[in-house]
Structure 1
Amino acid sequence: MFEDNQKKLYVIVNRQQDPALLLNATAHVAAGIMRKAEDVLFNDYPNAESGLRASLSHYPVVILQAKK
């Protein structure tokens, strides 16, 4: 499934909440955990048109939903 399964973050969210709230909370949780992690690895995805680049974590964040 994933190329590198050494590290993964699982987040379980309540599907009854607003999706924007869940996305915000999940992003903050992931950022906080990554700040404490050792040996973090990010992959760069440059955009030739704009000159900008995105740095995405090499390790996946898996988001699961619960009924409540």
Structure 2
Amino acid sequence: MSNLPDESQKRFIAILSKKMDLGRTLNVLGHLSVGLSNRLESDEAYYVDYQDFDGNVHPNLSHYPFIVLKADNSNKLRKVSEEAFIRGIKFTDFTSSMIEGGSVEQQKRTKETKEEDLEYLGVCLFGDTEILRDFTKKFSLYK
């Protein structure tokens, strides 16, 4: 346990549109999280197992914090996505074109939509805490 890096150095941040219902919000968060974790190198994030008193293992939870914030609209999410891209920060984003049908249909619909017409529903980032805070601090906690 003591070989782990300082957990305040890095973090995951998800920023989600406040315009979605709970089911959609959780679905978008799931897609963003799984996608982002797949983009990370094996030595970037740390995962730990928790063991309870009875010896049961609760496996593979993030050592780093996972913060969930909310955004008022698509344009604010678009700007976060653009900023992450410019800064070389690993991220995933999710738009309304990715909702209905299977992934093949969603990919086709997204490809047929101009970027400026995409409605962003969420962005998920992983990186150095101070760098992420620099451009996500204006968002409030999702409650």
How high is the TM-score relative to the length of structure 1? 0.69
Q: 1:35 aligns with which of 35, 38, 43?
A: 38
1:8 aligned residue:
11
User: Quick check: 2:49–2:58 contact (8 Å CA) kept in 1?
Assistant: yes
Q: Which whole-Å CA distance do the structure 1 matches of 2:9 and 2:30 have between them?
A: 20
Contact 1:30 1:61 in 2 (8 A): no
Structure 2 length-normalised TM: 0.39
Runs of 4+ in 1 over 6 A off after TM superposition: none
Task: Please give the residue correspondences for 1:1-68 in structure 2 after superposition, counting only pairs within 5 Å.
Answer: 4-38=7-41, 39=43, 40-47=45-52, 51=56, 53-68=58-73
RMSD: 2.2
Change beyond 3 A, Cα 1:52–1:5: closer
Q: What is the percent sequence identity of the aligned residues?
A: 29
Q: How many residues align?
A: 66
Q: Tell me, which stretches of 5 or more residues in structure 1 are unaligned? A: none
Output one character per residue of 1:33-65: Cα deviation in whole Å (capped at 9) or x when no partner. 11121213111123566x452321112221111
Q: Provide the rounded CA distance (Å) in 2 between the counterparts of 1:52 and 1:9.
A: 23
Q: Is the 8 A contact 2:14 2:67 kept in 1?
A: yes
Bigger helix share: 2
